[in-house]
Structure 1
Amino acid sequence: MSDSAIDLDDVQGVIVRGYRVRLVRHFVLTITDAAAAGQLIEALVRGRAGVPMITRARLIEPKPASFVNIGFSAAGLAALGVTAAQLASFDPAFQRGATDPVTAATVGDAGASAPERWIGGLDNAARVHIVLSLWVVSSAEVMATVSAQLRAAFAGGVSELTVQDGGEFSDNSVHFGYRHGIAQPTIIGMPPRKRDAPDAQPPVPAGEFLLGHLNAAGGTYRVLPQELSNNSSYGVFRILEQDVAGFEAMLARYAAETGIDTGMLAAKLMGRWRNGNPLTLSPVAQGTPLPDREMNNFNFVSTNPAMDDTLGLKCPIGAHIRRNNPRDAAVIGTDSTHHRLVRRSMPYGPQYDPAVPDTQPRGLIGFFINASIRNQFEFLTSEWNRRDDFVKSATRPEGAAAGNAVYNISGEDFLAGVNDPASSSFTLPGKGPKGSANRTLEGFARLVTTRGGVYCFFPSIKGLLYLAQLPAAAGTAPYQR
């Protein structure tokens, strides 16, 4: 299959499309009757009996009020009748699942983030079978109505393990105060969207997000049986609680220690100002928000000394956006094109008001979407977020006297890392040989705690129909078409 031949009617929309909605509800479900669950899946695909239809990737006009997508854990596929031999062909990380000790050690789900401390029954992988997501443009009434339709359809086939809601803020920010949802990869083969901002990075082959298509390495990811192999994907569902008060206290502390104001410190840690402007383009002051067509149109390396940021003097090499997407910077291993993610997340919990502090849970909830959990999500989380030795030696354009990139990063990612006050570190690069002019922030705690996770498989539409008939084909119960 060509990397540009995307059958938009066979791909679940959430994989390759941003719905631009304000509300989301994630139903985490347990299969209680495989045959009835199969009938539910078919009803969702076909939109039968008042059940909302699974959303495809083809753009719908006029825009509907809600969208629905569905993913399955390895245990969920097994409950429907996918055999152990077939599951052995799936991504190794997906086979392990989110609660596995190897997974937890890889992605840093330790201590308060350990799977045994997860909420909503997500600690019990044997019962986590399905994550069904309902995305709603803006209406709470639509959310209630469609949720009631879904719950009526669940009866007899699945039970609710937990329900997790999210909602965008009016200013499109997240709890730490940064503008949300700016940078997404441009996928080869997807129709251009008028509202998409240009990206200085190369477009990414469809096979980085869809099985059966050419990926950045020139191969394809596939699974067995063949019916599940083309146009499917994986999604890593995460509930990430954010310590907003701790972050603000951290900024205040380091502002006092360094003399750098809190706005600049927040920008240095993230790599963007809170209004979304990247430090690479706005290194001195936040300024007014750049137009969308400019917000994501930058790189870190340039032959023009005025534009080059090889050493991280504008955007620190350890900044969150730079660790998660080094763009054209020199890193050990494969370049960033091979490790891109599609992000579909929203805040949950009330916005934090520093004037009226509270301890209510708040954070981000949603999916990291990729065709290889191990090579994309887990690689980013374990290699670029948690290590500081993935940066290659680079001295341009002024030579070693100005510094070397390898000396200008320390510690783990300030958001995604496992930060302990006894060992945490963040480098603010300065111009000088071997890091001699650098300043280091130390002694900060973990700011993001994992409260739940599921490794999901998003079947294609044809794959969903295959799964729908699988329990009946196995003879578990009559199946009505």
Structure 2
Amino acid sequence: MSESAIDLDDVQGLILRGYRVKLARHFVLTITDALATRKLIGALVRGADGLPAITSARLGVPTPAAFLNISFSAAGLAALGVGAGALASFDPAFQRGATDAVSAATVGDVGPSAPRHWIGGLGDATRVHILLSLWVRDSAALMEHVSAQLRAAFGGSVSELYVHDGGEFADGTVHFGYRHGIAQPAIIGMPPRKQFALDAQEPVPPGEFLLGHPNAAGGSYRVLPPELSANSSYGVFRILEQDVAGFEAMLARHAADAGIDTDLLAAKLMGRWRNGKPLALAPHALDAPLPDAQLNNFGFVSPDPAADDTLGLKCPIGAHIRRNNPRGAAVIGSGSSHHRIVRRSMPYGPQYDPARPDTRARGLIGYFINASIRKQFEFLSSEWNRKHDFVKSATGPGGAADGNAVFNISGEDVLSGVNDPASSAFTLPGKGPNGSANRVLEGFSRLVRTRGGVYCFFPSITGLLYLARLP
């Protein structure tokens, strides 16, 4: 199979395309009758009996007003009749599941984020079988209409364990105030995203997100039986509660300690200004505005001294976007292209108003898409987000006298790590040997709490029809 041979009609849409919608609803379902559920899956693939059809990656014209995708946990596939021998061929992390003690420890779902504290029954892996996600462009009335259709079809096949909604903000930000949805991988065989067309990074082979296709290592991920392999993918569903008041208080406290503006500290922690401009291209707030097409067109390491940021003097090495995508910098692992993920998320809960503080639940909900949960999502979460010794020795154009990258990062990711005020730290790099000019901020608390999670499998359309026909 060539790298460009992606059968868009066979791939579930959310894997390769962002739907650009305002509303989302995620149904967590338990299979109560396997035969009836298989019939329901077949009806959803065909769009039969008045039901909406599962959305493929080949979007129609005009663009639909609603989109539907379905995925299964390991327990869900077993409940449908997929045998133990076949399941043993799946990604080892998927087989463990999100609630497993090893999985939870690996990604930092510990303490208040541990599965025993999760909402909606998501902590009970034996009951979480199916995730059915509905996205609607902008009509709340259509959301309720389609939800009613689906719920009517659930009877006798599945029970609704939990449902959780999301909704985009009018200003395109998330709860910590950053613009989101900017940096997604460019995938070989797919047209570039029009809004963020320029990207300094090489496109990623489709096998990093689709089973059966060549991946960055030159091989491919596959499962048994073959009907479930080609054009399928894995997702990690997450409900992440954000402490917005705590985040703003943290910015004020640490910005005062560092003697910098709170907006600059927010940019240093993320690696982008809240309007999306990357620090690598716009290290100062008053830099000229950047068009959307330029927001991904940068790297961290360059032979051009003016563009090089090996030491993190513009964008700190511990910044969120740099930990999750080092863009060619020297780090452990197989390189950035081997650990990319696709993000399909949106905020939930009301936008925070500092003039009227409240304690209502708010955060992010959605999926991280990858072809290997262990090598992509879990690797990022455990190695690059939670450690600082993943950075290799590297000097910039000025040599060792200016510093070395290994000294210019500390602690865990402030935005997604497991931060303990007694040990957490964030380094603002300065120019000097052995980190001598660095400023280290300490005492960060955990600002994002996991409220639910599922390791799930997105079969191709062919795979869904296979599940519908299981005896």
Task: Indicate the TM-score class for this superposition, using the shorter chain for normalisation.
Answer: over 0.9
TM-score (norm 1): 0.97
Secondary structure (helix, strand or coil) at the match of 1:138 reads: coil
Shift of 1:333: 2.1
Match of 2:371 in 1: 371
Q: Which moved more, 1:133-142 or 1:186-195?
A: 186-195
Q: Which residue of structure 2 lines up, in the alignment, with residue 131 of structure 1?
A: 131
Q: 1:268: which partner in 2?
A: 268
Pairwise mapping of residues 453-468 of structure 1 onto structure 2 (< 5 A)? 453-468=453-468
Contact 1:275–1:286 (CA<8 Å) still a contact in 2?
A: no
Distance 2:375 2:53 in 1: 32
1:393 CA displacement: 0.6
* TM-superposed deviation, 1:192: 3.8
1:385 and 1:117 map into 2 onto residues whose CA distance is: 22
C-alpha offsets along residues 264-297 of structure 1, whole Å, 9 cap, x if unaligned?
A: 0000000000000000010011556421110111
TM-score scaled by length of structure 2: 0.99
Structure 2 residue identity aligned to 1:44: L
Which whole-Å deviations, capped at 9, do the CAs of 1:429-458 have from their partners, x for residues lacking one? 000000000001101100000000000000
Measure, in 1, the Cα distance between the counterparts of 2:392 and 2:158.
50
**C-alpha RMSD of the superposition:** 0.8
Which residue does 1:477 correspond to in 2?
none
Alignment of 1:194-233 (within 5 A): 194-233=194-233
Deviation at 1:251, TM superposition (A): 0.5
Q: Residue type of the partner of 1:305? A: P
Residue 408 of structure 2 corresponds to 408
**2:99 maps to which residue?**
99
Residues 59-115 of structure 1, C-alpha deviation per residue, up to 9 Å, x if partnerless?
Answer: 211011100000000000000000111100000000000000000000000000000
- Say which SS state the counterpart of residue 212 (structure 1) adopts: coil
> Which residue in 1 is equivalent to 2:155?
155
1:24 Cα deviation (Å)?
0.3
- The DSSP-based 3-state class of the residue aligned with 1:3 is coil
> Is contact 2:43–2:49 with CA below 8 Å preserved after alignment?
yes
Q: What is the aligned partner in structure 1 of residue 309 from structure 2?
A: 309
Counterparts of 2:450 and 2:194 in 1: how far apart (Å)? 35
Paired residue type of 1:176:
F
Are positions 1:396 and 2:396 aligned together? yes
Question: Whole-Å Cα distance in 2 between the matches of residues 43 and 191 of structure 1?
Answer: 30
Quote the residue 2:25 is aligned against.
Answer: 25
SS of aligned partner of 1:126: coil
1:469 corresponds to 2:447:
no
Report deviation, 1:328: 1.2
Provide the residue aligned with 1:478 in structure 2. Answer: none
Q: Is the 8 A contact 2:113 2:451 kept in 1?
A: yes
In structure 2, C-alpha distance between the alignment counterparts of 1:285 and 1:256, rounded to whole Å? 18
User: Aligned letter for 2:434?
Assistant: K
Question: Per the alignment, in what secondary structure is the counterpart of residue 250 of structure 1?
Answer: helix
Matches of 2:385 and 2:85, distance apart in 1 = 33
Q: C-alpha distance in 2, partners of 1:285/1:195?
A: 22
Deviations 1:9-33 (A, max 9, x none): 0000000001000100000000000
Please give the secondary structure, in 1, of the residue aligned with 2:355: coil
Instruction: Write out per-residue CA displacement over residues 195-247 of structure 1, whole angstroms, 9 at most, x where no aligned residue.
Output: 34221100000000000000000001000111101000000000000000001
**Structure 1 position 396, deviation (Å):** 1.7
Determine helix, strand or coil for the equivalent of 1:85. Answer: helix
- 1:276–1:289 contact (8 Å) kept in structure 2: no
Task: Report the counterpart of residue 10 of structure 2 in structure 1.
Answer: 10
Match of 1:159, SS state, is strand
Structure 1 position 178, deviation (Å): 0.2
**CA distance in structure 2 between the aligned counterparts of 1:57 and 1:353, rounded to whole angstroms:** 37
Per-residue CA distance 1:100-142 (angstroms, 9 max, x = gap):
0000000000000000000000010000000000000000011
- What is the identity percentage for the equivalent residue pairs of Structure 1 and Structure 2? 78
Residue 293 of structure 2: SS of its match in structure 1? helix
Question: Gaps spanning 5+ residues in structure 2: where?
Answer: none
The change in CA–CA distance for 1:153 and 1:297 in structure 2 (over 3 A counts) is: same
The total of aligned residue pairs comes to 471
Separation in structure 1 between the aligned mates of residue 240 and residue 467 of structure 2, nearest angstrom:
30
In structure 2, give the amino acid aligned to 1:122.
L
Q: Is the contact between residue 277 and residue 286 of structure 1 (CA under 8 Å) also seen in structure 2?
A: no
CA distance in 1, matches of 2:374, 2:289: 35
Counterpart amino acid of residue 464 in structure 1: L
Indicate whether 1:108 and 2:119 are aligned.
Answer: no
Matched ranges for 1:301-450 at <5 A: 301-450=301-450
Structure 1: any 5+ residue segments left out of the alignment? 474-481
Q: Does structure 1 residue 247 correspond to structure 2 residue 253?
A: no
Q: Report the Cα distance in structure 2 between the residues aligned to 1:332 and 1:257, rounded to whole angstroms.
A: 32
Letter in 2 for 1:364: L
Deviation, 1:255, is 1.7
Supply the distance in 1 between the matched residues of 2:414 and 2:82 (Cα, whole angstroms).
40
Where 2:126 maps in the other structure, the secondary structure is helix
Partner AA of 1:360 in structure 2: R
1:259 aligns with 2:272: no
d(CA) in 2 for partners of 1:343, 1:411: 24
Matched, 1:89 2:89: yes
Contact 1:26 1:163 in 2 (8 A): yes
- C-alpha distance in 2 between matches for 1:314 and 1:189: 33
> Aligned partners of 1:39, 1:290: CA distance in 2, in Å?
51
SS in 2 for 1:177: coil
Alpha-carbon distance between aligned partners in 1 of 2:50 and 2:107, rounded to the nearest angstrom: 40
Deviation at 1:256, TM superposition (A): 1.6
